[in-house]
Amino acid sequence: MPKPRVWFITGTSSGFGRNLAEEALKRGDYVVATARKPETVKDLEKQYPKQALAVRLDVTKKPTIAAAVQKAIVKFKRIDVLVNNAGYGLFGALEDVQDKEVRRIYDTNVFGLLNVTQAVLPQMRKQKSGHVLNISSVVGQVSFAAIGIYSSTKHAVEGLSEALSHEVKNFGIKVTIIEPGYFQTDFGSRGLVSTKPSKPYRAISKAMDDRFKSFANGPHGDPRKAALAMIQAVESAETPHRLALGEDSVNMIRGTLAAKGADVAKWEEISLSTAAVR
C-alpha cells in the first residue's frame, strides 16, 4: 500500500477544493483544509478527526499563510501535495474595470498563489519531494472579450508554473497546471465579480454574459470527477505538466494551439527575416 499523502489545499470551502479534500480523505490521505472562514470546513475535521485539519488561511494575508503552513507541519510533519485553488473571476471590458478591482483579483489569483507556494516550498525541498497543483483555467490558454483581466491572472499562473517546474525538479518536486473548463461549481455566483459595462461595451458584455449562460445551461463538468482526475495525475508515474479538464477545455485549447501554429507558419518567412546580417 502506498503511504498516505498530506494535502494542503487552499479555498476548501466549496468547488474543486472541497471535492478534492473529500475525495483525498476517503482514500485515507491527510488533508489540511484551509479557508478564510475555517468554520466552513470544520465538518471535515469532525468527520475525519485523525486525517483532517481545518485551518484559517487568507491568501492575501501572509501571516495567515505562515501560520497555516506551520500548523500543517506540526500536525502531519510534511506536505506532499500543495493545491493552489483559491481564486475568483472578474468580468468586464478592459476600459471599464477599475484599478482597485484589478489589483484585488491579482492579489488573490496571482500574488496569493505565489505567497502560498513560497511558504510551502522550503518544506518540500527539505523532504526532497512534493507536488504542486496550480488551478488555472481554460482561459489560461485562451481569452475572450470581457474576461481579459481574469484571463490574464490565469496566464500569469501558467507562466509562474512553467518556470517553477524547471526550478524545483532537481529537488524532487513536480508541478502540474490544472485547466478546467465550465464545471458545476459556485464560480458563476459566489466566485464571480462583474463590472458594470459602460455604453460602448454593453453589447460585448451582453454577448459574454449570454455565452456564460449557455455554458451554465449546457453540458458541464462534475467537480467530483475533476477531483478524481487530479488525484490520478498526482498518483501517476508520468505526471502531466498540464491537465485540461472538460470537453470544452480540451476543444478550446486544441483550437487555440492550432490557430497559433497557423500564425507561426503563415508569418515564418517574415519572422525569420529579422535575423541580424553577419
The share of the chain scoring above pLDDT 70, in percent, equals 94
pLDDT digits (tens, 9 = 90+) for 216-265: 666 678 999 999 999 999 999 999 999 999 999 999 999 999 999 999 99
User: Active-site residue among 48, 137, 151, 154?
Assistant: 154
Q: What is the mean pLDDT of residues 113-134?
A: 98
Please state the pTM of the whole predicted model: 0.94
Write out the residue range of the structural domain in which residue 96 sits: 6-272
Name, in order, each residue with C-beta under 8 angstroms of 278's C-beta and a sequence gap of 6 or more: none
Active site residue 143: no
The CATH number of the domain holding residue 46 is 3.40.50.720
Instruction: Assess if residue 1 is contained within a domain.
Output: no
Residue 278 falls within a domain, yes or no?
Answer: no
Domain contains 209: yes
Whole-number pLDDT of residue 186 = 62
**Catalytic status, residue 14:** no
Helix (H, G, I), strand (E, B) or coil at 269: helix
Annotation marks residue 106 as catalytic:
no
**Helices (H) then strands (E): counts for the chain:** 10, 9
* Average pLDDT for 125-133: 98
Average pLDDT rounded to a whole number, residues 139-149 = 94
Active-site entry in 14, 136, 137, 249 = 136
Q: Is residue 72 part of a domain?
A: yes
Longest dimension (CA), the chain: 71
From 30, 150, 182, 201, the catalytic residue: 150
- Asked if 73 contacts 120 with a C-beta cutoff of 8 angstroms, the reply is no
Quick check: is 54 in a domain? yes
Count of domains observed in the chain: 1
As to burial, measured by CB atoms within 10 angstroms (0-12 exposed, 13-18 middle, 19+ buried), residue 262 is: exposed
Q: Could you tell me where the beta strands, DSSP code E, fall in 10-111?
A: 30-35, 52-56, 81-84, 89-91
The 10s digit of each residue's pLDDT in 209-222 is 777 666 666 667 89
In a domain, 138, yes or no: yes
- Residue 147 pLDDT class (50, 70, 90 cuts): very high
- Percent helix, strand, coil in the chain (nearest 5)? 55, 15, 30
Note whether residue 277 is domain-resident.
no
